[in-house]
Amino acid sequence: MGIDAQIDSLERLAALDAEVKDLSVKLEAQRGEYTGLKTAQSALELALAADRISLTEMERTRSELQIDHRNIVQQLDRSRDRIQRSRNERESQAAERELDELRRLQRDRDDELGKMVVLCDQARTGIGDNEFKLLELQEKLSSEEQGTLAQIHQLEADIAGKRSGRAALLANLPSLTGRRYESMHGRGKVPVAHTTDGTCRGCFVQLPPMLFHTLLGRTQFGECPFCHRIIWYTPPVPAAAPVTPAAVTTEIPTEASS
């Protein structure tokens, strides 16, 4: 395999690797967005389940407090009866003390019940909010899921295609060149660079004149002493073709006629 063919393969290899890197970034972004939505969905579902259990417990406590409250009201009635029916000062004082104690209990129960009613209302509002968020999320997921999964599969297929393309290119390269390329690539670096004017286009450092001189012949690769990329010489792209006298003369009649 001649050096020109190798350079061509290396250029295509580097281009494929750049595309794979680009596609992998897109793939990770797609996967990240998708798993993010899924994670948010299950977090909301868990929160809702916990909130519903807690609401059920609070509602049970509230009804126990209501039963307590009714019992105290009945006891208060009995206590008032006892005051009415007391036969002496001692009995009436005892009944009064009992009545005071029951009134205190009733106030406590009222306070607790009031707090519990507020807590239950807050919990129900919270559950309603989370149910709404979950519904929104489910709608977003169901409308995007198919498209997102299709995009993920497409990206995976594109990446696999480019990987098999690069494997074929690598297999055709002389093994030493292939190994040099892969060793750089494996360390997350772009393995190749070219030079046109004596500057490494990979790291933009001026190459030693001797090295540049060797590269000019395009008979062998070099290694940039600074960034260690496989380096070769690429002749400058010729400037736009100068206007030929023929082109000028064909334009003259047009200009004259206008």
Q: Interface residues with Zn ion (CB under 5 A)?
A: 200, 202-203, 224, 226-227
Please identify, using beta-carbon distances, which residue of 99 and 203 lies nearer to Zn ion: 203
Parallel, antiparallel or unpaired: strands 230-233 and 192-195: parallel
3-state secondary structure of 232: strand
Q: How far is the CB of 181 from Zn ion (least distance, A)?
A: 15
Q: How far apart are CA 15 and CA 35, in angstroms?
A: 30
Contact 225, 211 (CB under 8 A): yes
Contact 46, 130 (CB under 8 A): no
Q: How far is the CB of 148 from Zn ion (least distance, A)?
A: 40
Please identify, using beta-carbon distances, which residue of 95 and 200 lies nearer to Zn ion: 200
What DSSP character marks residue 213?
H
Please identify, using beta-carbon distances, which residue of 164 and 206 lies nearer to Zn ion: 206
Q: How far is the CB of 179 from Zn ion (least distance, A)?
A: 19
3-state secondary structure of 218: coil
Q: How far is the CB of 133 from Zn ion (least distance, A)?
A: 53
Please identify, using beta-carbon distances, which residue of 191 and 202 lies nearer to Zn ion: 202
Q: How far is the CB of 220 from Zn ion (least distance, A)?
A: 17
Please identify, using beta-carbon distances, which residue of 65 and 200 lies nearer to Zn ion: 200
Please identify, using beta-carbon distances, which residue of 137 and 227 lies nearer to Zn ion: 227
Contact 157, 197 (CB under 8 A): no
Let me know how many helices (H) and strands (E) the chain has, helices first: 5, 3
CB neighbours (10 Å) of residue 38?
Answer: 13
162 φ/ψ angles, rounded to the nearest 5 degrees? -70, -35
Q: How far is the CB of 224 from Zn ion (least distance, A)?
A: 3
